[in-house]
């Protein structure tokens, strides 16, 4: 009987500590209104195509690191007019990302409502990109392993690289 109590205690403790997967987080916070592209797929097409990559995080996050070639558009200060001047072709292949893919879905929906028709959301955002050992650059365009994790709560999904919080 004592061993059963230990097993139950262990199982209860480990399930309580079980971390959600990135997929579970996205299912919880997103509406799934924008199709996903996965990091490996983006890495493959990034070399050969003329995609428009938009970083929807805040400037301090973008300056720590971003995917090479990504344009900073922000979240809190997102300016559709400015983006529309930069991306005139409403059929351009646009890929948005943030830390995990939650804020980027919001920005993608705004772009979709503005008439953009070919938008994808990077599944797992920059965290999953780095977790897949894909390269990042800093504000000086130098390769870096640092990633701004937005907050401790969200940063737990970054499993590789150097976590930056300030």
Q: Is 48 exposed, middle or buried (0-12, 13-18, 19+ CB in 10 A)?
A: exposed
**Residue 61 and residue 104 in contact, taking contact as beta carbons nearer than 8 Å:** no
- Strand-pair partners of 144: 136
Give the Cα separation of 54 and 4 in Å (integer): 53
**Residue 146 and residue 64 in contact, taking contact as beta carbons nearer than 8 Å:** yes
Please, which residues have CB within 8 angstroms of residue 16's CB and are 6 or more apart in sequence?
none
Give the Cα separation of 71 and 95 in Å (integer): 10
Q: Which of 118, 55, 110, 50 is nearest to 90 (CA)?
A: 118
Catalytic residue among 52, 70, 73, 98: 98
Is 98 considered catalytic here? Answer: yes
Query: Catalytic residue numbers?
Result: 98
């Amino acid at each position: 009987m004592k061993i059963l109590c230990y097993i139950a205690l262990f199982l209860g403790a480990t399930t309580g500590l079980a971390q959600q997967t990135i997929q579970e987080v996205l299912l919880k916070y997103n509406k799934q209104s924008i199709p996903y592209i996965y990091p490996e797929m983006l890495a493959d097409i990034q070399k050969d195509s003329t995609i428009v990559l938009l970083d929807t995080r805040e400037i301090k996050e973008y300056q720590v690191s971003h995917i090479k070639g990504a344009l900073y558009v922000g979240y809190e200060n997102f300016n559709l007019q400015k983006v529309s001047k930069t991306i005139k072709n409403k059929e351009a292949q646009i890929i948005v990302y943030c830390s995990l893919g939650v804020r980027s879905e919001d920005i993608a929906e705004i772009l979709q409502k503005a008439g953009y028709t070919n938008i994808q959301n990077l599944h797992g955002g920059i965290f999953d990109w780095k977790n897949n050992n894909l390269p990042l650059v800093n504000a000086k365009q130098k390769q870096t392993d640092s990633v701004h994790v937005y907050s401790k709560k969200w940063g737990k999904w970054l499993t590789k690289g150097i976590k930056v919080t300030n």
